[in-house]
Amino acid sequence: MDFGLVQFLTLFGALSLFLFGMKVMSEGIQKLAGDKMRSILSAMTSNRFLGVFTGFLITTFVQSSSASTVMVVSFVNAGLLSLVQSVGVIMGANIGTTTTAWFISFLGFKLNIASLSLPIIGIAFPLLYFSRDRLTSLGETLLGFALLFMGLGLLQESVPDLQNNPEMFMALENLTGYGFGSIMIFLGIGTLLTIVLQSSSATMALTLVMCNNGWIGFEHGAAIVLGENIGTTITANLASLVGNVHAKRTALAHTLFNIFGVLWMLTLFNVVISTISGYMEGLGLNSPMEDPTMVPFGLAIFHTAFNITNTLLLIGLVKTIVYAVERIIPSKGRTDERHQLEYFGSGFLHMAEFSVLQARRETRRYCDLAHRMFNFIPEMIYETDKKKFSKLLARVSKYEEITDRVEVEITTFLIKVSRKQLSISTSEQLRRMRLVCSEVEKIGDVCFKMSTLLEKKREEKVYFTPKQRDELNNIFDIVNEAFDVMMVNLERGEVFARSNIQQAYALEKKINMFRDHVSEEVIGDIEKGSFQVKGGFYFNKMISSCEKVGDSILNINEAAAGVNVE
């Protein structure tokens, strides 16, 4: 047997080049159509049929169902998709994986596209040095495309020649003599391969090469394809482990959908294989049962028919699937709303361009956390019960710890994402998010200082006058209005925030004018002896603190709008 360590490493290297080419092409496409794809996602999941088309479209672009389903899990985790919407997208993602088989069958084996790889690289390489984002992204896409087919060509050459390596054929042949048991063995091989390679497209490419070279027959290649459908669910389930309850349900829905499909296909397996063989002969082609070069086309038909049929069978049962996963993974109420990073998780960083969605959602949630923390302060002013006041003080202290920790975690994530190859616009968005996080942490610090001031005031038995309380209520209302404007600007994005920035400026001006007016009033009242000096001191500090919060809110609004950001 002429297949040693060097030959194995050559085969593995060819497969690695194929995977690397797919990664480069996927990232290039994401940069090229990142914003449009985000818009497509939000606009095209309004019903289950559009969701299926969306899943098909995304998987066709990124050429990996594992990547697209992990993306869907992360979107559900981020609250960008509902569980019902996600099931439709996952169904479409399964159909999208079938494009790989057709792509390779038509181009990879019939056209020697590997010979065109170097000319394509010759076109792509200069584009990488252009300053325009789109041209650079196009260059990366072409470079990935060239590397992908160069890897596929090398993969074909690296697969051992069965004439010179009969022992390998005999080893595989020994697995084919168990009837239906052999189908289950090859199904297991497909599952394991997909888990190891973390890409159903790569497993499909390897399967097509083995079938084309006569290693395995049509029916065993089809069994591997079924195994890929199970193996590809593992990635999403691993990604969901660090997600919230909705992410776990989405991953489980994907698993149930694929396993159900595999089960019904196994009951009709021989009938389907024979039907496809007869259909190809009816088209004037050779049977894939007899001609190894026809197996890639047979597998492409099998894979497509299987996924489309499975989707048609279950698309009317989306709500039933959702009900089932909700029963299997029940919500634990508030424990699923922990103050931690809910929208980030392992497995998402390889989708760097799409990580902006998770980062934006997590940043907005962080801002909402600061808003809730700020609203504890008015409660503390009016709370007369000592125990309840202590609980509020403890909550503010806890929130301050959370804001410090979450800022570090979000910033760390943003820095990790920014180290990836990103478009200039995406890098700028991540930079602004870091600025937003810094300002939110400042708001947390100011609120904590306000709570300690109120604690000290209580210990010293100093009280605000009714007039001071009314004025504090007024400035709290203005600051809350500023918070509301800020949250809307963060939610609706840069274009809206820029058109709405004048409202933020107006509220900031209103806060400043109120502070100046109150400061003068406090000095006047103290001089007249209208109220205690200590009460005036604490009152003035509270007003000044609200003004500082207003400054941070304005900075966040400017970051959201992309104005005055240094």
Tens-digit pLDDT profile for the chain (566 aa)?
A: 455 678 778 877 877 887 787 677 767 766 665 555 555 555 555 566 777 777 777 677 655 555 566 566 656 665 556 777 777 777 887 787 777 667 666 665 545 555 677 888 888 888 888 877 778 878 887 888 788 777 766 765 665 554 455 455 455 556 666 777 878 888 888 888 777 666 666 777 777 777 777 777 788 888 888 888 888 777 667 656 656 677 788 788 888 888 888 898 888 888 888 888 888 888 888 887 877 778 778 888 888 888 889 888 888 888 888 888 888 888 665 434 344 455 454 444 445 555 676 677 778 888 998 999 999 999 998 888 888 889 988 888 888 888 888 888 787 877 777 666 666 777 788 888 888 888 999 999 999 999 999 999 888 888 888 888 888 899 999 999 999 999 999 888 888 888 999 999 999 999 999 888 887 776 666 656 555 667 778 888 899 999 999 999 999 999 988 886 55
Residue pair 53/88 in contact (Cβ under 8 Å)? The answer is no
Calpha distance 123→111 (Å, rounded): 20
Write the class of the CATH domain 352-561.
mainly alpha
Range list of β-strands (E), 265-423: none
Calpha distance 342→130 (Å, rounded): 37
Calpha distance 24→97 (Å, rounded): 18
Per domain, the residue ranges of the chain are 5-161+169-331, 352-561
**Angle (nearest 5°) at CA 178 between 292 and 201:** 45
pTM: 0.54
Let me know if 192 is exposed, middle or buried by CB neighbors in 10 A (0-12, 13-18, 19+).
Answer: middle
pLDDT digits (tens, 9 = 90+) for 443-480: 999 999 999 999 998 888 888 888 888 888 999 999 99
Distance of CA 539 to the CA centre of its chain: 46
Calpha distance 382→476 (Å, rounded): 13
- Tokens, residue 564: 């005055």
- Percent of the chain topping pLDDT 90: 11
Largest interatomic CA distance in the chain: 107
Calpha distance 420→417 (Å, rounded): 6
Which residue is associated with the tokens 């890639």?
Answer: 296
- pLDDT, position 346: 42
Calpha distance 303→94 (Å, rounded): 9
Calpha distance 486→320 (Å, rounded): 39
pLDDT digits (tens, 9 = 90+) for 308-324: 898 888 888 888 888 88
Residue pair 211/186 in contact (Cβ under 8 Å)? The answer is no
Let me know if 35 is exposed, middle or buried by CB neighbors in 10 A (0-12, 13-18, 19+).
Answer: middle
pLDDT digits (tens, 9 = 90+) for 189-232: 888 877 766 666 677 777 777 777 777 778 888 888 888 888 87
Calpha distance 205→207 (Å, rounded): 5
Let me know if 3 is exposed, middle or buried by CB neighbors in 10 A (0-12, 13-18, 19+).
Answer: middle
- Give every CB contact of residue 73 below 8 A, 6+ residues apart in sequence: 86, 236, 239, 240, 243, 247, 250, 251, 254
Calpha distance 454→397 (Å, rounded): 13
Average pLDDT of the chain is 77
CA distances for 393 relative to 124, 269, 406, angstroms: 60, 66, 20
- The 10 Å Cβ neighbour count of residue 459 is 8
- Tokens, residue 421: 């190859």
